[in-house]
Amino acid sequence: MHAAVVRTIGQPPVYGEFPDPTPQEGEVLINVRAAALTNLGKLVTYDPDYSAGAEVPFVAGVEGVGTLQDGTRVGFAAQRPPYGSMGELTVSFAPLAFPVPDGVSDATAAALINPGFSSWLPFASQLKLEAGAKVLILGATGVAGKLAVQIAKHLGAGRVVAAGRNRAALEQLPSLGADRVVSLDQPEEKIAAEFAQEAGEHGFDVVLDYIWGRPAEIFLGSLPRSLEAEGEVRYVQLGNSAGPTATIEGNALRRAGITIIGTGSMPSLDIVKDVWERMTDAVVKGSLTIDVDEVPLSEVHDAWNRETPGRRLVFVV
């Protein structure tokens, strides 16, 4: 078969031939139709925390969309090295292959998997979003952040504040459900003032943070404090594109009622399946959208480091 093959850790994959996979017990063989290029997919090719133990050559890609041998169209996760999702064929653990409904294109379904789950699963498994809740999305101009704005509104948030740097994407966010946007491309004191104004006396109910670093420090330092916090700010840490570390005052955690939640573990397959069905149903009904750029898999090497702010690049097989 042909595939996007990683031959050197730290270098973009190249399009070339690779041995066909053979399913093992509990796996299904998939004819791949589309595979999204995600931050996770890139990390596996160069970051020691994600590529540890990987032996080259291997096929790039973590998730995608394809067909089973009976023709059923599925979204899938490719988890057995050396077979990633960016090949003409791959294998997946059978329970992680979920049907894709009519009305959702291959590219849209492939693009939805990573950012959609990262945004929706915390609400489904950890947060239990209350109707009318006030939600902040840090990093709302990226692919996942734009989805998070829509998902929060879809699940009943009363007010969604969206913060990010990309000006064009910020202008688009109100049409996706954001009640207010905060530009992170301005002096820090102005950013802090806008956060403080939105927080008011009671802060936020939920924060989804895709960027961490200095924006997280500014936000956490802007929250109202009291000797006894009146409510809980559930702060979900999802990414660190603005920096791998953030310095947080102890008083900010204690007196603003902040609970920081990591998302490194996967909930039950029943929850994952339910979320997938609800996400794809929302796409069919038009209440959830994602911007996609389709590129032939044969162009993977040249397109690997292409900048597509707020849009998901999807390789089409």
Exposure string over 162-189, b if 16+ CB within 10 A, otherwise e: bbbbbeebbebbeebbbbebbebeeeee
Give the pLDDT score at 250. Answer: 85
Mean pLDDT score across all residues of the chain: 93
Per domain, the residue ranges of the chain are: 2-100+287-316, 115-262
Give the pLDDT score at 2. Answer: 98
Give the pLDDT score at 123. Answer: 86
Query: What are the 10-residue block averages of pLDDT along the chain, 317 residues in total?
Result: 95 97 97 96 82 82 97 94 96 96 97 94 82 96 96 96 95 97 97 95 92 96 78 90 91 82 82 95 96 98 93 97
179-227 confidence digits (pLDDT tens)? 999 999 999 999 999 999 999 888 899 999 999 999 999 999 998 887 6
240 close to 211: Cβ distance less than 8 angstroms: yes
Can you give the pTM of this predicted structure? 0.92
Crossing angle (nearest 10°) for helices 143-154 and 167-176: 20
Q: Which CATH number fits domain 2-100+287-316: 3.90.180.10, 2.40.10.480, 1.25.40.10, 1.10.510.10?
A: 3.90.180.10
85-120 confidence digits (pLDDT tens)? 999 999 999 999 999 999 999 999 999 999 999 989
> What fold is seen in the domain 115-262?
Rossmann fold (3.40.50)
Give the pLDDT score at 152. Answer: 96
